[in-house]
Amino acid sequence: MTIKTLYEQDFQQWIEQTIEQLQNSDFSSLDIEHLIEELTDLGKSE
């Protein structure tokens, strides 16, 4: 399962994997598109 598929099928797991990738500076397979979308939505809700 790819990270983008994970986003659509198991959001919580996507969050956990994304956090782990960021903490490990593993940017090679980071789901940038969905991460930007989620951060943008978070900013709008504040």
Q: What is the pLDDT of residue 1?
A: 79
The pLDDT, as a whole number, for residue 3 is 84
pLDDT classification of 25: cutoffs 50, 70, 90: very high
Q: Is the pLDDT of residue 37 over 90?
A: yes
User: Running DSSP on this structure, what letter comes out for residue 41?
Assistant: H
Q: Is the pLDDT of residue 10 over 90?
A: yes
**Whole-number Cα distances in Å, 6 to 9, 12, 14, 30, 36:** 5, 9, 6, 12, 16
Give the whole-angstrom CA distance, residue 12 versus residue 14. 5
The residue written with tokens 């956090």 in the block is: 19
